[in-house]
Amino acid sequence: MNDANGTGGAPTLIRLDKVGKSYFRGKQPVEVLKDLDLTMPEGAFEALMGPSGSGKSTLLNLIAGLDSPSRGSITISGQDLGKMSESQRAAWRAQNVGFIFQTYNLLPVLTAAENVELPLLLTSVPSSQRRQRALTALRVVGLEDRAHHRPDQLSGGQQQRVAIARAIVTDPKLIVADEPTGDLDRESADQILELLVRLNKELNKTIVMVTHDPAAAERASVVRRLNKGALT
Protein backbone atom coordinates (compact mmCIF):
# COMPACT_ATOMS: atom_id res chain seq x y z
CA MET A 1 0.00 0.00 0.00
CA ASN A 2 1.21 3.49 -0.76
CA ASP A 3 -0.29 6.92 -1.01
CA ALA A 4 1.41 7.82 -4.28
CA ASN A 5 -0.47 7.84 -7.56
CA GLY A 6 1.63 5.18 -9.22
CA THR A 7 0.12 5.60 -12.71
CA GLY A 8 2.87 7.67 -14.26
CA GLY A 9 1.63 10.39 -16.56
CA ALA A 10 -1.80 8.91 -17.29
CA PRO A 11 -4.52 11.39 -18.27
CA THR A 12 -7.04 12.43 -15.62
CA LEU A 13 -10.20 10.36 -15.67
CA ILE A 14 -12.03 11.78 -12.64
CA ARG A 15 -11.99 15.40 -11.55
CA LEU A 16 -13.98 16.86 -8.66
CA ASP A 17 -13.95 20.63 -8.16
CA LYS A 18 -15.26 22.03 -4.90
CA VAL A 19 -17.82 19.25 -4.67
CA GLY A 20 -20.15 19.44 -1.71
CA LYS A 21 -23.18 17.40 -0.79
CA SER A 22 -25.79 18.31 1.79
CA TYR A 23 -28.95 16.58 2.89
CA PHE A 24 -31.83 17.83 4.93
CA ARG A 25 -32.78 15.78 7.93
CA GLY A 26 -36.14 17.38 8.58
CA LYS A 27 -35.32 21.09 8.47
CA GLN A 28 -31.76 20.50 9.65
CA PRO A 29 -29.12 20.60 6.88
CA VAL A 30 -26.50 17.87 7.13
CA GLU A 31 -23.30 18.42 5.23
CA VAL A 32 -21.98 15.06 4.06
CA LEU A 33 -19.17 16.21 1.78
CA LYS A 34 -17.31 19.49 2.19
CA ASP A 35 -15.99 21.11 -0.98
CA LEU A 36 -13.79 18.27 -2.14
CA ASP A 37 -11.13 18.74 -4.78
CA LEU A 38 -9.96 15.47 -6.21
CA THR A 39 -8.43 14.02 -9.36
CA MET A 40 -7.89 10.39 -10.28
CA PRO A 41 -5.90 9.33 -13.32
CA GLU A 42 -7.00 6.75 -15.82
CA GLY A 43 -5.88 3.27 -14.70
CA ALA A 44 -5.83 4.14 -11.02
CA PHE A 45 -6.91 1.72 -8.31
CA GLU A 46 -7.97 3.84 -5.39
CA ALA A 47 -9.45 2.88 -2.08
CA LEU A 48 -11.70 5.17 -0.06
CA MET A 49 -11.56 4.50 3.66
CA GLY A 50 -13.07 6.15 6.64
CA PRO A 51 -15.44 5.61 9.52
CA SER A 52 -19.14 5.07 8.99
CA GLY A 53 -20.86 8.32 8.04
CA SER A 54 -17.67 9.86 6.77
CA GLY A 55 -19.17 10.29 3.28
CA LYS A 56 -17.25 7.66 1.36
CA SER A 57 -20.33 5.97 -0.15
CA THR A 58 -21.79 9.37 -1.01
CA LEU A 59 -18.53 10.26 -2.77
CA LEU A 60 -18.61 6.94 -4.63
CA ASN A 61 -22.22 7.59 -5.73
CA LEU A 62 -21.28 11.02 -7.03
CA ILE A 63 -18.28 9.68 -8.98
CA ALA A 64 -20.50 6.92 -10.45
CA GLY A 65 -23.14 9.44 -11.54
CA LEU A 66 -25.79 7.95 -9.28
CA ASP A 67 -26.33 11.20 -7.46
CA SER A 68 -25.65 14.86 -8.18
CA PRO A 69 -23.65 17.18 -5.96
CA SER A 70 -25.22 20.08 -4.10
CA ARG A 71 -22.41 22.27 -5.41
CA GLY A 72 -19.22 21.99 -7.43
CA SER A 73 -18.62 19.97 -10.58
CA ILE A 74 -17.69 16.39 -11.39
CA THR A 75 -16.01 15.61 -14.68
CA ILE A 76 -15.37 12.06 -15.84
CA SER A 77 -13.39 11.57 -19.05
CA GLY A 78 -13.98 15.23 -19.81
CA GLN A 79 -17.76 14.94 -19.46
CA ASP A 80 -19.43 17.17 -16.90
CA LEU A 81 -21.98 14.98 -15.11
CA GLY A 82 -23.76 18.05 -13.78
CA LYS A 83 -24.84 19.02 -17.29
CA MET A 84 -26.51 15.67 -17.93
CA SER A 85 -30.18 14.93 -17.39
CA GLU A 86 -31.21 11.93 -15.31
CA SER A 87 -31.72 9.75 -18.38
CA GLN A 88 -28.47 10.94 -19.96
CA ARG A 89 -26.63 10.00 -16.79
CA ALA A 90 -28.30 6.57 -16.86
CA ALA A 91 -27.13 6.05 -20.46
CA TRP A 92 -23.68 7.29 -19.53
CA ARG A 93 -23.49 4.87 -16.59
CA ALA A 94 -24.52 1.99 -18.83
CA GLN A 95 -21.60 2.72 -21.14
CA ASN A 96 -18.91 3.93 -18.78
CA VAL A 97 -19.33 2.53 -15.27
CA GLY A 98 -19.24 -0.96 -13.88
CA PHE A 99 -20.75 -1.52 -10.44
CA ILE A 100 -19.76 -4.04 -7.79
CA PHE A 101 -21.84 -4.14 -4.60
CA GLN A 102 -21.24 -5.68 -1.22
CA THR A 103 -24.16 -8.10 -1.51
CA TYR A 104 -23.56 -8.99 -5.19
CA ASN A 105 -27.17 -8.16 -6.14
CA LEU A 106 -27.58 -10.60 -8.94
CA LEU A 107 -31.10 -11.23 -10.21
CA PRO A 108 -32.03 -14.59 -8.67
CA VAL A 109 -34.21 -15.66 -11.60
CA LEU A 110 -31.42 -15.27 -14.15
CA THR A 111 -28.44 -17.54 -14.75
CA ALA A 112 -24.90 -16.28 -14.31
CA ALA A 113 -24.60 -15.66 -18.05
CA GLU A 114 -27.93 -13.83 -18.16
CA ASN A 115 -26.96 -11.67 -15.19
CA VAL A 116 -23.75 -10.73 -16.94
CA GLU A 117 -25.63 -10.07 -20.18
CA LEU A 118 -28.07 -7.73 -18.46
CA PRO A 119 -26.18 -4.41 -18.96
CA LEU A 120 -25.69 -5.23 -22.65
CA LEU A 121 -29.47 -4.99 -23.17
CA LEU A 122 -29.02 -1.24 -22.86
CA THR A 123 -26.31 -1.06 -25.50
CA SER A 124 -26.30 -1.40 -29.27
CA VAL A 125 -24.55 -4.78 -29.08
CA PRO A 126 -26.53 -7.18 -31.32
CA SER A 127 -28.36 -9.93 -29.46
CA SER A 128 -26.30 -12.55 -31.32
CA GLN A 129 -23.10 -11.16 -29.76
CA ARG A 130 -24.44 -10.44 -26.29
CA ARG A 131 -24.26 -14.00 -25.00
CA GLN A 132 -20.75 -14.41 -26.43
CA ARG A 133 -19.55 -11.29 -24.66
CA ALA A 134 -21.14 -12.42 -21.41
CA LEU A 135 -19.31 -15.75 -21.67
CA THR A 136 -16.06 -13.94 -22.37
CA ALA A 137 -16.55 -11.81 -19.23
CA LEU A 138 -17.29 -14.96 -17.23
CA ARG A 139 -14.09 -16.50 -18.62
CA VAL A 140 -12.14 -13.48 -17.37
CA VAL A 141 -13.43 -14.09 -13.84
CA GLY A 142 -12.90 -17.85 -14.15
CA LEU A 143 -16.55 -18.89 -14.11
CA GLU A 144 -17.28 -19.88 -17.67
CA ASP A 145 -18.28 -23.34 -16.47
CA ARG A 146 -20.90 -21.82 -14.17
CA ALA A 147 -22.61 -19.86 -16.93
CA HIS A 148 -25.90 -21.70 -16.58
CA HIS A 149 -26.01 -21.73 -12.80
CA ARG A 150 -28.41 -19.47 -10.98
CA PRO A 151 -27.08 -17.31 -8.11
CA ASP A 152 -28.46 -19.64 -5.43
CA GLN A 153 -26.34 -22.41 -6.94
CA LEU A 154 -23.13 -20.38 -6.48
CA SER A 155 -21.02 -19.56 -3.42
CA GLY A 156 -20.70 -15.98 -2.20
CA GLY A 157 -17.28 -15.62 -3.81
CA GLN A 158 -18.57 -17.00 -7.09
CA GLN A 159 -21.56 -14.66 -7.02
CA GLN A 160 -19.25 -11.70 -6.51
CA ARG A 161 -17.14 -12.86 -9.46
CA VAL A 162 -20.31 -12.99 -11.57
CA ALA A 163 -21.05 -9.45 -10.38
CA ILE A 164 -17.55 -8.42 -11.47
CA ALA A 165 -18.14 -10.02 -14.88
CA ARG A 166 -21.37 -8.00 -15.09
CA ALA A 167 -19.38 -4.89 -14.21
CA ILE A 168 -16.84 -5.38 -16.99
CA VAL A 169 -19.05 -6.79 -19.76
CA THR A 170 -19.68 -3.37 -21.32
CA ASP A 171 -15.93 -2.66 -21.14
CA PRO A 172 -16.28 0.47 -18.99
CA LYS A 173 -13.30 2.63 -18.13
CA LEU A 174 -14.43 3.01 -14.54
CA ILE A 175 -15.41 0.38 -12.00
CA VAL A 176 -16.86 1.43 -8.67
CA ALA A 177 -16.91 -1.11 -5.87
CA ASP A 178 -18.75 -0.56 -2.61
CA GLU A 179 -17.34 -2.92 0.03
CA PRO A 180 -16.80 -5.70 -2.53
CA THR A 181 -15.37 -8.07 0.06
CA GLY A 182 -17.62 -7.10 2.94
CA ASP A 183 -19.71 -10.28 2.79
CA LEU A 184 -16.93 -12.73 1.99
CA ASP A 185 -14.57 -14.95 3.96
CA ARG A 186 -10.89 -14.13 3.81
CA GLU A 187 -10.02 -16.62 1.09
CA SER A 188 -12.85 -15.53 -1.20
CA ALA A 189 -12.10 -11.89 -0.44
CA ASP A 190 -8.48 -12.38 -1.47
CA GLN A 191 -9.60 -13.97 -4.75
CA ILE A 192 -11.88 -11.04 -5.48
CA LEU A 193 -9.16 -8.52 -4.65
CA GLU A 194 -6.72 -10.42 -6.84
CA LEU A 195 -9.25 -10.24 -9.65
CA LEU A 196 -9.67 -6.49 -9.20
CA VAL A 197 -5.91 -6.03 -9.29
CA ARG A 198 -5.78 -8.03 -12.54
CA LEU A 199 -8.55 -5.93 -14.08
CA ASN A 200 -6.65 -2.83 -13.07
CA LYS A 201 -3.25 -3.96 -14.28
CA GLU A 202 -4.12 -6.11 -17.31
CA LEU A 203 -7.22 -4.33 -18.63
CA ASN A 204 -6.31 -0.84 -17.34
CA LYS A 205 -9.63 -0.41 -15.56
CA THR A 206 -9.86 2.51 -13.20
CA ILE A 207 -11.19 1.21 -9.92
CA VAL A 208 -12.59 3.20 -7.04
CA MET A 209 -13.30 1.01 -4.06
CA VAL A 210 -14.94 1.86 -0.76
CA THR A 211 -13.78 -0.46 2.00
CA HIS A 212 -13.43 -0.83 5.71
CA ASP A 213 -11.01 -3.70 5.26
CA PRO A 214 -7.32 -2.68 5.57
CA ALA A 215 -6.29 -5.85 3.72
CA ALA A 216 -8.46 -4.81 0.79
CA ALA A 217 -7.15 -1.27 0.86
CA GLU A 218 -3.60 -2.65 0.70
CA ARG A 219 -4.27 -3.93 -2.81
CA ALA A 220 -5.11 -0.41 -4.03
CA SER A 221 -2.40 1.82 -5.42
CA VAL A 222 -3.83 4.84 -3.63
CA VAL A 223 -5.72 5.04 -0.36
CA ARG A 224 -7.75 8.14 0.42
CA ARG A 225 -9.25 8.69 3.81
CA LEU A 226 -12.40 10.59 4.53
CA ASN A 227 -13.46 11.96 7.86
CA LYS A 228 -16.60 14.03 8.42
CA GLY A 229 -16.90 14.74 4.70
CA ALA A 230 -13.37 15.92 4.17
CA LEU A 231 -10.31 14.19 2.74
CA THR A 232 -7.58 13.88 5.29
Partner 1 sequence: MNLASIALKNTRRNLFRTVLTVIGVGVAMLAFLLIRTVLTAWLVSAEYAAQDRLATRHKVTFIMTLPKRYVEDIRKLPGIQGATWMNWFGAKLPGHEDAFFGTFAVDPQSFLEVYDEIVVPAEHKTKWIENRRGALVGAQTARQFGWKVGDKVILEGTIFPGQWEFIVEGIYSASRKSIDQQSFYFHWNYMNDSLPASQQEQIGWIASKVPDAGQAATLAKKIDELFEPRDIQTLSMSERAMNTSFLGMISTLLDAMQIVSIVILIIMMLILGNTIAMGVRERTREYGVLRAIGFLPKHLSTFILVEAGVLGLLGGGLGLLAGFFLINYGVGRVMEETFTGLFPYFRVATQDMVISMVLSVALAVIASIVPAYNASKLHVTDALRKLG
* Near partner 1 by CB under 8 A: residue from 90, 142, 198, 204: 90
Residue 146 CB, nearest distance to partner 1 (Å)?
17
Determine whether 29 is exposed, middle or buried from the number of CB atoms within 10 Å of its CB (0-12, 13-18, 19+). exposed
Sites for partner 1 among residues 42-71 (CB under 8 A):
61, 64, 66-67
Does residue number 125 form part of the binding site for partner 1 (CB under 8 A)? no
Torsion sign over Cα 217, 218, 221, 226: positive
Q: Which stretch binds partner 1 (CB under 8 A): 35-43, 90-98, 185-193, 219-227?
A: 90-98
Residue 107 CB, nearest distance to partner 1 (Å)?
6
- Is residue 44 within 8 Å of 207, Cβ to Cβ? yes
Half-sphere exposure of 150 (CA within 13 A, CB side): 5
Count, in order, helices (H) and strands (E) of the chain: 7, 10
* Near partner 1 by CB under 8 A: residue from 1, 18, 30, 103: 103
Radius of gyration of the chain (CA): 17
Determine whether 199 is exposed, middle or buried from the number of CB atoms within 10 Å of its CB (0-12, 13-18, 19+). buried
Torsion sign over Cα 69, 172, 100, 218: negative
* Near partner 1 by CB under 8 A: residue from 93, 133, 146, 224: 93
The β-bridge relationship of strands 206-210 and 45-49 is: parallel
* Near partner 1 by CB under 8 A: residue from 40, 117, 133, 162: 117
Residue 108 CB, nearest distance to partner 1 (Å)?
7
Task: Tell me how far apart the alpha carbons of residues 55 and 66 are, in angstroms, rounded to a whole number.
Answer: 14
* Near partner 1 by CB under 8 A: residue from 1, 30, 121, 203: 121
Shorter beta-carbon distance to partner 1: residue 38 or 66: 66
Sites for partner 1 among residues 5-44 (CB under 8 A):
none
Q: Which stretch binds partner 1 (CB under 8 A): 26-34, 40-48, 98-106, 208-216?
A: 98-106
* Near partner 1 by CB under 8 A: residue from 30, 107, 203, 215: 107
- The strand pairing partners of 175, in sequence order, are 98, 207
Question: What is the contact surface with partner 1 in residues (CB under 8 A)?
Answer: 61, 64, 66-67, 87, 90-91, 93-95, 99, 101-103, 105, 107-110, 114, 117-119, 121-122, 127, 130-131, 166
